[in-house]
Amino acid sequence: MERREKKKKGLKLFSFFIILLFFSALAFSYFWKTKSEEWNKSDKKTIIVIDGGLEFSFVNVAEKTVGEFLAAKKLSLSEGDSVFPNEDVPLFSGTRIFVGRAHEMRVAVDGGEQILHTQAMTVGRALEESGIAMDEDDIVKPSRDTFAESGIKVVITRVQIEEQSVDKLIAFPKKTNEDDKLSWRKMIITQKGEKGIDRLTYRVSKHDGQEVNRKLLKTETIKAPVTEITTQGTYVKVGKTHKGAASWYAFTGTMSAANPWLPIGSYVRVTNVENGKSVIVRINDRGPFVLGRIIDLDKVAFQKIASIGAGVIGVTMEEIIN
């Protein structure tokens, strides 16, 4: 019986505790709601704004988030500007808002012009952030470490460095052998000449596709030239020999001469009796008609055996019959 009474008493205490806890929760909820409404109505915060490096203080701020605050204060953001913390972050008294202002930079590159909005301090950093593909050899004016002031114009010159190989023909040398058994009129090619090939390797620099410098790095012979060998006949068969004086005149500029009686088109060998030099010429004109002179050499032929200043020289003239 006593045990049953204790159990009833325990149940009553537990029920009382549950009811008390329920009403306490209701009271706390009402109090919290009321206070929250009061706080929301009367919450006036102080906000610090650092805009473009300048600091501003705003008091009695009622807006709840960074975005609401910026809109209320008409602090607009332009292309390239940034704000920290983000616009959806709640405001608390003492919150510091950082607004980064972008400036305009004009970039001439690849035949066109781009307008960048950047907060970078240097030209190089602004170009890196812009995503413009750059090579370390490209030329940037003003230089990459220049302060990126508002309105600055930057010119990028694309630099391309490459090696180029060019094949160049080499002229073949010529060699002439003499054969005293072969007629002087005949010349035989005994070995045909062939041009060689040199390969020249250059380092070529181009600015925006236009070549500005070319430096020779090496030359290698791909094919050596082959010497042309000819055999020149020297056998001269002569007929009558004449002695007298020879003069000169400017006529055709060839190895030719004038004679009063020999057939046009015939050949003679003329030898200077003082120095033994001789020349073979073709008769293509008439003259000289001066006593004692037997031949008038074209200027180029006369120069082979005497100086032009000599004027008239003693010679032997042999008629060639082969």
| Helix, strand or coil, per DSSP, at residue 79 | coil
| Of the residues 55, 84, 100, the one at which a domain ends | 100
pLDDT digits (tens, 9 = 90+) for 92-142: 999 999 999 999 999 999 999 999 999 999 999 999 999 999 898 999 999
Residues 170, 215 within the same domain: yes
- The CATH number of the domain where 212 resides is what? 2.20.230.10
Residues 246, 314 within the same domain: yes
**Res 304 pLDDT > 50:** yes
Residues 144, 93 within the same domain: no
Residue 23 lies in a domain: no
Please tell me the distance from the alpha carbon of residue 267 to that of residue 195, in angstroms, as a whole number. 36
Residues 6+ apart with CB under 8 A from 153: 105, 106, 107, 108
pTM: 0.54
Domain encompassing residue 261: 236-320
- Are 134 and 156 in contact by the 8 Å Cβ rule? The answer is yes
pLDDT category of residue 1 using cuts at 50, 70 and 90:
very low
pLDDT digits (tens, 9 = 90+) for 35-90: 444 434 446 899 999 998 899 999 999 999 999 999 999 999 999 999 999 999 99
Residue 4 lies in a domain: no
**Res 16 pLDDT > 60:** no
Residue 11 lies in a domain: no
- The CATH number of the domain where 254 resides is what? 2.40.40.10
Residue 263 lies in a domain: yes
Residue 180 lies in a domain: yes
Describe the strand order of the beta sheet including 159-170 as a list of residue ranges.
159-170, 196-207, 210-223
Number of domains in the chain: 4
